[in-house]
Chains A and B, each alone.
Chain A
Amino acid sequence: MRSTPSSDPVSPEPAASEAFLRMEGVSKVYPMGDHAVFALRSVDLSVAAETFTAVVGRSGSGKSTLLHLLAALETPTAGKVTVGAWRLSALDRKAQTHYRRAMVGMIFQAFHLVPTMTAFDNVALPLVLAGVAPERRRARAEACLEMVRLTHRAGHRPAELSGGERQRVAIARALVADPPLLLADEPTGNLDSTTAAQIVELLARLRHEHGKTVVFVTHHFAEVAAVADRVVELNDGRVVGRGDSPASSL
């Protein structure tokens, strides 16, 4: 699929046939009493595999909602979401879980590590939940901690780690099941700019070296400008801008 050359090499939007991730006419409406909140309004979006996409927009513009739809944590009110061979809008709860295990690694602004577990156990958690055997879990978790350069901190609990280290643990957790898609919701939001730069660099490296497709939500486009292939701007639930980032010409 990816080997097919793009019909328009300068267009940031891949041809539908080539897209790894696709949203067609997707809306998400939250009923709020007598009125409704439109978190997303007929969004069309295609993302090619192994690319780095930045999603920007004001607070409340629908960025998190977009990520949650891609993670099958929510279902669209209208429209169609496809990731690889998965038709997300058609999945039942059990299939959603399978999809998340196979396809998605999630990274959050607040890290969301389990406070009582060591870094190692946090990283291995998705494999535990998926019922993977202990020996394989161990090997994978060690490899992923190595990828985020935290092997020496494996036995520490989140409270004993810095913000940047916690986020790297969270990234290792997102990588442990080797999913093709990484969804990061403001992963740098709680970090200083130096540490934030390290996280961005790490995710960019994962995309290049391990072929991950990264969707990265941020308030500060500047911090991803150097590594993002393209940027999608949301405003009030609509895609108002999409384009090559300067970096994609590299």
Chain B
Amino acid sequence: MRLVDLVSLAFANLKRNRVRSAMTLVGVAVGVAALAALLAYGAGLQRTARGEFEALDLHNALRVTSQPSPLGAAGDVAFLPQSSFDLDSLPPPVALTDSLLKVIEGLDGVFAAYPEIVFPVRLKAGRRAVVATAEAVPQAFGALPAYRPEAGAFFAASTDSTLLLAPSMARRLGFEPPESIVGDTILVSSATLNVRALRRGNPGVNFGMVAPPVGYRGYWLRVAGLLPEDGQAVSGLFRVILPLELAKGMRKITFFSTLDLLMRGAAAGGYSAVRVHLADPEAYAAVRRALRERGLYVTGFRDQFARLERLFLVLDLALGIIGFIALLVATIGIANTMMMNVLERTAEIGVMKAVGGDEGDLQRLFLIESAALGLFGGLAGLGVGWGIAALLGAFVDRYLHGLGLSGIDVFYLPPWMAGGILALAVVISLAAGFVPARKAARVEPIRALRSAT
């Protein structure tokens, strides 16, 4: 039999039982839509994370500490003995001083080395206040694309009382359009430790409530420019950038966890952590090795991202399995439909054999029917899945816009993934049609002819 004839006969057969075929299609469509939506969700998360990572140029970033960081990459801790957090058993730590920074900056492939200064701040403009993370960067960063402002300019000098922030932050501070914030001065408050209260050893009492030994210090800073936000919407939610020397001089609490604080207790002076930015990602391994040879502990953001990617893989796998089960259930529907089709058409199959039908052709006919159910159910499912994703995506975007943020792709279905899902739907539909198709091929024409009379 010619392939065109097989295909058109298969379609004619599917049309015979419109309701049954349609219900089977709906089943497959739901399964495929579920699989597509779940995988697209995983891929969307991953893409957003990767986008941020790349926009922030993090694959070029290393974090250097004088002690193994419990928050560092697995590799940093792994070589230590079990009691690794007994800090006294370690070789004496290398102090992270300005002179060491100079040495690090002299290494091949290093673009900049600077102390890690990251601390929480509260921004205030008029009546609006927003909590953010302030991060200090050296003047050299003005040359990096990720730090090239889309409005205004990078810091003129490292000691200027200025800052950079994202358009979404400007919106949340009540500036519309966000560019209008450039040149304005806003109040940036940092938390400080109340050393006197700490020394006294008892917390202050304030209107009968126990107050932590914490104070606030405000600085009036001018907004130098708006940072590009593409692909780093989530960072834009909380990040502001300060010039390095200005940040050094600000009073602040720079630790983020008690563990961090405790680890720092044993530090040998100097900075608690240093960030190294590479000029060339190729230099990653060499720089890392050079730093380790100096007795420093290195954590690559790249390693952390690799761990994140592994996590995403597990997530994707879990989502994929759930979606696959949905698709599998739908395929049982195909098997059922095809089995009914074969049983219903047994007499007809017998006649076709009696008038010259070939076993292989009849088997192919039913396989094409189930593959078509898989294909069209799959296409419909992708359409439905796309619709659901677009709808939910629009909701998320509206929500983010409400917060003054640019939208992110919650769902992302690359063409190869859509193609793969479709192929999977067709393949497992073929598998589902296999037994019915074999049954059709094996129909005894005599038995069929006799039973029909």
Contact = CB atoms under 8 A, between A and B. Distances in A.
A9 B240 CA distance: 115
Contacts of A110: 452-453
A68 B450 CA distance: 11
Contact of B356 (A74, A101, A109): A101
B354 A100 contact: yes
B346 to A, nearest CB: 12
Interface string A91-121: 0011001001100001011101010110000
A173 B445 contact: no
B452 A129 contact: no
B443 to A, nearest CB: 12
Contacts of B450: 64
Contact of A116 (B2, B16, B356, B357): B16
A125 interface: yes
B90 interface: no
Interface residues of A, number: 28
B380 interface: no
A229 to B, nearest CB: 25
A112 B12 contact: no
B5 interface: yes
Contacts of A129: 1, 352, 355-358, 361
B352 A71 contact: no
B9 A128 contact: yes
Contacts of A116: 12-13, 16
A177 interface: yes
A97 B446 contact: no
Interface string B7-18: 001001100100
B55 to A, nearest CB: 59
A126 interface: yes
A97 B351 contact: no
A106 B355 contact: yes
Interface string A173-205: 110010000000000000000000000000000
A125 B355 contact: yes
B359 interface: yes
Given A73-B446, A112-B449, A114-B351, A131 B2 contact: yes
Interface in B93-116: none
Contacts of A159: none
A126 B355 contact: yes
B446 A177 contact: no
Interface string B337-379: 0000000000110011111111101000000000000000000
B348 A114 contact: yes
Interface in A57-88: 64, 68, 71, 73-74
A74 B359 contact: no
A204 to B, nearest CB: 22
Nearest to A190: B453
Contacts of B452: 110, 112
B352 A97 contact: no
B355 A100 contact: yes
B354 A71 contact: yes
Classify chain B: how many residues form its interface, as a range. Answer: 20 to 34
B351 A73 contact: no
A177 B354 contact: no
B347 A68 contact: no
Contacts of B453: 108-110
Contacts of A174: 355
Given A112-B347, A114-B351, A130 B449 contact: no
A177 to B, nearest CB: 7
Given A97-B358, A100-B355, A129-B356, A74 B446 contact: yes
Given A112-B347, A112-B452, A126 B446 contact: no
B422 to A, nearest CB: 29
B429 to A, nearest CB: 23
B411 to A, nearest CB: 42
B349 to A, nearest CB: 10
A50 B347 CA distance: 31
A110 B12 CA distance: 23
Nearest to A128: B5
A76 B184 CA distance: 102
Contacts of A130: 1, 356
A72 to B, nearest CB: 10
Contacts of A109: 453
A100 B446 contact: no
A190 to B, nearest CB: 9
Query: Which interface residue of B1, B356, B446 has the most chain A CB atoms within 10 A?
Result: B356
B347 A73 contact: no
Contacts of A101: 356
A93 B347 contact: no
A91 to B, nearest CB: 14
A53 B9 CA distance: 36
Nearest to A186: B453
Nearest to A101: B356
B350 to A, nearest CB: 8
Contacts of B445: 73
A108 B13 CA distance: 23
Nearest to B354: A106
Interface of A: 64, 68, 71, 73-74, 93-94, 97, 100-101, 106, 108-110, 112, 114, 116-117, 125-126, 128-131, 133, 173-174, 177
Given A97-B356, A114-B348, 12 more contacts: A73-B449, A97-B359, A100-B355, A106-B354, A108-B351, A116-B12, A116-B13, A126-B355, A129-B358, A130-B356, A131-B5, A133-B2
20 contacts: A71-B354, A73-B353, A73-B354, A73-B446, A97-B353, A97-B359, A100-B354, A100-B356, A108-B351, A112-B347, A112-B452, A114-B351, A125-B352, A126-B355, A131-B1, A131-B2, A131-B5, A133-B2, A173-B355, A177-B356
Interface of B: 1-2, 5, 9, 12-13, 16, 347-348, 351-359, 361, 445-446, 449-450, 452-453
- Ranked nearest first, the 4 interchain pairs of A and B with the lowest CB-CB distance are A101-B356, A112-B351, A126-B355, A129-B357
